[in-house]
Structure 1
Amino acid sequence: MFIDKITKLTFGAALALSVAVPQTASAKELAFAVFIPAASPTIREVYQPWVDWFNEQTEGTDTSIKLFAGGTLGRNPLTQADLVANGVADLTLTVPSYTPGVYPDYDIFELPGYASNTAEGSTAVKEMYEEGLLRGYEDYYMVAVYSSDAYMLHSKPPIESFEDIKDKKFRVAGQIQTAVIDALGGVAQNMSALEMAENIDRGLIDGAMTDASVAKTFRVADVATNHYDANLGILIFAIIMNKEVYEELPQEAKDALAKSRQFIIDRQIASYSAAVAANKEAWASEDGSTLVVPSEADQAKIAEAVKPVVEMVGAEASDGLIDAYSAKLEDIRSR
C-alpha cells in the first residue's frame, strides 16, 4: 500500500512536469544571423525594424526574433545557409550568387541591362519566386527575397567612356561579376567587401563594381571618387529559415512571416532607393567627384560585349527564364 502511494505520487509529479515543461519549452527566440556590419544602414532601416515589427505581431505567443549582426554567429558570407542547416541560427541572410552553381536561376538578375533599380529588381525576384519560376532554396522556408540597386563602376582613375574600362582592375564578388568585368575589358579581382576600400587606396586595384549604397557604406566612395553609372546588374538577397523550426512555430508567428516578405521589400525599396539617390546627387555636385552616365553608344557597346555572359547564364538557368525576366520587368514598368 505504501509503495502504491509512492508510485501514485511519483506518477502525479511526472504528469505535472510533462504538462509544465512544454509550456516553457515552447518559448522560442529565433536567432537571425546577418553578416553585414551592425552599423550598416540596412540593419538600421530594414532588418531591425522588421524584427521589431515581427515581435510586436507575435507578442503573447512566446515567439520572437533576435538579430545577430556583424557576423556574430558566422562571418563568412559564403556559408550563411549552413548556419541554418546546422542549427547555429534559425534565420540568416544569404546571397545566392556567392555560391556559384548552387542557385543558377538567381544568376540572371546579375546580368547587365535588365533591372535598373532596387524597386524593379526586388519586385521582379519576389514575384518570380512566388510564381514558382525560380529553382533553389527548396530545403528552406523563404522569409524574403529582394535586391540591391544596379551595379556601377567606382574607380580612382576617371572612367568617361566604355574604352576607359579596359585593363583596369575592379573588385568583384562571384562568377557573374567576374565574367561581366572580363567581357568589358577590365580585370576582375575577387575579394570581400571589407577589403575594397583599402585595396583601392593602396593602388592594388583601380576600383570596385557595386551599387551606390554599398560604395558609401564600405567607404569605397571615399577613395574611388569617379562613378560610371552603367546598369551592370543587381545583387539578390534572400532571408531563409530552417524548415523544421518554421513548422514548429505557432500559427500567429507563421502569419507574421507570411506578411514579412512584403514588409521587408517595402523597407528595402524605400531606404535603399533614397540612399542611392542621395549618393548619386552628392557625387554629381561635389568637387573632386564625377558621375558619368554612359551615352547610348556606350550602352550599346556594353550590351554587345556581355552577350556571351547572357548566353552562359541563360544556358545554366531554367529554360526561358531570361525571357520571363524581361517580360516581368516590362510588366512592372507598365503598372
Structure 2
Amino acid sequence: MQTPRILPLTALILACAPLVTQAATPSEPVVLKLAHSLPPMSAAHTRFIVPWCERIEVQSGGRMKCQIYPAMSLGGAPAQLLQQARDGIADITWTLPGWTPGRFPLSEVFELPFFTSDRESSSRALWDFVEHNAMSEFAGLKPIGTWVTGPYVFHFRDREVRNLDDFKGLKVRAPSRLGNKMLAALGATPVGMPVPQMPESLAKGVIGGALVPWEVVPPTKTHELTRFHAEAAGDRTMLAATMIFVMNRKKYDSLPDDLRKVIDDNSGRDTSAWIAAQFEPADTAAREMTVARGNAVYAITPEEMLKWQAATRSVTEEWTREVANGQQHYDAAAALVARYAKP
C-alpha cells in the first residue's frame, strides 16, 4: 500500500533535481569581444586596453570581462572597426575616426593643424565637445572614451626636412583627411593609409616619410625604416588625430543596471584624459630608443613653424566653410581647448 506513495515522491525528487542543480550553478560572466588593430606589444594594448579590461572585471566582481582580439584577429581591416562595433561583430572597438572619412565631420575639428594643446587637456575638451555637439556621429554606439593623440612627428627615410622647400616631391603617409590636406598645404604629396600598412610602404619606398606620434614607432619598427625625425615647436600641436573607444549600444543596453554602471564609471571625460595619458610614457621611450639608434631627431625652428602655420591656415578656413555651422563649431571647440589647457 506504500508503493504508490513512494513512486510519486521519487519522481518529484528526480524532477526537481535539475532545478536544484541549475539554481546552484553561478551565472556565466558577460564576455565582451574587444577588437583593435595594433599588436599585443603596442602601448594601446598594454597600457590602456588591458588595464581598462582588468578594471571592469574587478569592479563587476568577475561578472564582466573582456576577450581581446588585437591586430585585427577578429577579422576585417582597420577601417572596418567602427562598423564592426555598430554591427555587433565586436562589442567594443578602439579605432581612429580618420579611417572612415566623412563619418565624424564635427569632431574632426580637433584634427585641424595647430588646434590642440597637451593631450590630456584636449582630450577632456574633445569629450565635452562630442557630448554637447556631436553625439549624432555615434549612432548605434556607446562612447567610452574620446581623446587626441600626442603630437604627430615626421619620420623620413632618407631626406632631412627642415623647411617648406624640402617637402617638394616627397610622398608622406598621413593619418586622416585633414592630415592629407595639411601635407598638401606644406608642399608634400599626401598618401593616406592606416598604420598597419605603413611599415611595408616605408620599406619598399612607396612613401618617403610618415606622420605618426612617437608611441607608434616601436611596434611598427619605424625607427628601423627611417633616419630623420622632425618635431614641431610651439605650444599648439602641429597635428593630432582623434581616437575613440566605443561599445555597441545594443550590447550596452542589454547589460543589467549594475554592469552598465561599471561601464559608465569607466567612461567619460576623466577616462578620456586617463587613456590619453597612458601613451605619454610610450612616446618618451620611443623617442629615446630612436636617439639611441643614432637617428637624427631635431626640432623645426619656431621661425619656420610660423611659415608652416601660415601655409596650413587654408585647411582650417576650408573646414569652416564645408561643415554646416562650421565657424560656430570651431569656436565652441576652440573655447573648450582653451578652457582645459594647462597654464
State the TM bucket, normalised to the shorter chain: 0.7 to 0.9
Q: Which runs of 5+ in 1 are unaligned?
A: 1-5
2:338 to 322, 330, 333: 330
Deviation at 1:213, TM superposition (A): 1.1
- Is the CA contact (8 Å cut-off) linking 2:79 and 2:100 kept in structure 1? yes
Cα gap change, 1:289 to 1:128, in 2 (>3 Å): same
Show the 5 A alignment for 1:84-233.
84-132=85-133, 135-156=136-157, 157-230=159-232, 231-233=237-239
Structure 1 distance, partners of 2:150, 2:126, is 13
Query: What residue is the counterpart of 2:5 in the other structure?
Result: none
- Is the CA contact (8 Å cut-off) linking 1:108 and 1:317 kept in structure 2? no
- Residue type matched to 1:217 in 2? P
Aligned residues: 324
Q: Which runs of 5+ in 2 are unaligned?
A: 1-7
Secondary structure of 1:136's aligned partner: helix
- 1:290 pairs with 2:291: no
- Is the CA contact (8 Å cut-off) linking 1:36 and 1:70 kept in structure 2? yes
Deviation at 1:133, TM superposition (A): 5.0
Query: What residue is the counterpart of 1:3 in the other structure?
Result: none
Structure 1 distance, partners of 2:85, 2:206, is 36
Cα gap change, 1:92 to 1:296, in 2 (>3 Å): same
Query: What residue is the counterpart of 2:34 in the other structure?
Result: 32
Deviation at 1:30, TM superposition (A): 1.5
Secondary structure of 1:119's aligned partner: helix
Deviations 1:168-209 (A, max 9, x none): 111123322211111110011233322322322332321101
RMSD: 2.9
TM-score by length of 2: 0.84
- Is the CA contact (8 Å cut-off) linking 1:227 and 1:291 kept in structure 2? yes
2:307 to 289, 295, 301: 301
Deviation at 1:334, TM superposition (A): 4.7
Q: Percent identity?
A: 21
Larger Rg: 2
Show the 5 A alignment for 1:260-299.
260-261=266-267, 264-281=271-288, 283=290, 285-286=291-292, 288-299=294-305
Secondary structure of 1:170's aligned partner: strand
- Is the CA contact (8 Å cut-off) linking 1:78 and 1:98 kept in structure 2? yes
- Residue type matched to 1:322 in 2? Y
Query: What residue is the counterpart of 2:3 in the other structure?
Result: none
Deviation at 1:219, TM superposition (A): 1.2
Secondary structure of 2:279's aligned partner: helix
Cα gap change, 1:244 to 1:204, in 2 (>3 Å): closer
Structure 1 distance, partners of 2:342, 2:197, is 40
Deviations 1:128-179 (A, max 9, x none): 2233455410321111111211212110211122321222111123322211
Query: What residue is the counterpart of 1:68 in the other structure?
Result: 69
Show the 5 A alignment for 1:6-17.
none
Cα gap change, 1:273 to 1:317, in 2 (>3 Å): farther
TM-score by length of 1: 0.85
Deviation at 1:305, TM superposition (A): 1.4
- Is the CA contact (8 Å cut-off) linking 2:107 and 2:130 kept in structure 1? no
Structure 2 distance, partners of 1:234, 1:72, is 27
Structure 1 distance, partners of 2:98, 2:206, is 25
